[in-house]
């Protein structure tokens, strides 16, 4: 596999910062090379690689596991049934192969405690996180910005249970 120099440099910089890279794709719409993905993940052990999991990608994690025979420590999954559209997930996917998982899809300041409780019940002691990107933004006309007030509302909601 020949990598583009710009991509290689970006990956090196992310890895040096102990960064993470989220890959959003849909294998149902456009096939992705799981062998190439497995190679990329294992070739960059200091970079956390997150793959978005939804209806078009349900075969990604089992496919990687079948190719490699193990779950790479630097791979994580983001369950997002809405595919980045911020729509609430009607069901929660169970973590697989002991891989850290994130959950997205309609999680916002008004339902974060309910959603986190459901996620914790599903995931148990496995490391998890939530992705609230679209619900923590405010659009006014042509301006779309990250809203710190919505973040504070979310943090204050967590203070109720700590």
66, part of any domain: yes
DSSP letter string over 76-130? EEEE-TTTTS-PPPSS-PPP-TT--EEEESS--TTTHHHHHHHHHHHHTTS-EEE
Is 41 part of a structural domain of the chain? yes
User: For residues 120 and 127, what is the distance between their CA atoms, to the nearest angstrom?
Assistant: 10
Give me the pLDDT at residue 3, please: 63
Q: What CA dihedral angle connects 50, 54, 59 and 62, to 10 degrees?
A: 50
Helix axis angle, 148-159 relative to 112-123, nearest 10°? 60
pTM, two decimals, is: 0.82
CA dihedral 145, 148, 149, 150 (to 10 degrees): 70
Asked whether residue 49 is assigned to any structural domain, the reply reads yes
Is 144 inside a domain boundary?
no
pLDDT per residue rounded down to tens, the chain (162 residues):
556 777 778 878 887 777 888 988 888 888 888 999 999 999 999 899 999 988 888 888 888 989 999 889 999 999 987 766 777 877 888 887 778 899 998 899 999 999 999 998 888 888 889 998 888 999 888 889 999 999 999 999 888 765
Inter-residue contact 103 to 87 (CB < 8 Å): no
Structural domain boundaries enclosing 95: 5-135
Q: Give the integer Cα–Cα distance in Å for 95 and 126.
A: 8
| Domain count across the chain | 1
């Amino acid at each position: 596999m020949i990598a583009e120099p710009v991509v290689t440099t970006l990956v090196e910089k992310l890895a040096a910062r102990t960064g993470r890279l989220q890959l959003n794709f849909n294998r149902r719409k456009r096939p992705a090379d799981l062998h190439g993905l497995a190679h990329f993940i294992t070739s960059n052990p200091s970079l956390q690689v997150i793959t978005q999991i939804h209806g078009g990608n349900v075969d990604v994690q089992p496919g990687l596991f079948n190719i490699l025979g193990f779950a790479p420590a630097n791979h994580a999954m983001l369950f997002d049934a809405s595919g980045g559209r911020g729509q609430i997930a009607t069901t929660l996917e169970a973590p697989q192969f002991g891989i850290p998982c994130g959950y997205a899809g309609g999680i916002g300041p008004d339902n974060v405690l309910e959603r986190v409780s459901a996620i914790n019940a599903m995931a148990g002691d496995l490391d998890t996180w939530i992705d609230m990107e679209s619900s923590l933004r405010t659009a006014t006309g042509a301006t779309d910005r990250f809203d710190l007030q919505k973040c504070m509302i979310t943090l204050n909601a967590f203070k109720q249970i700590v």
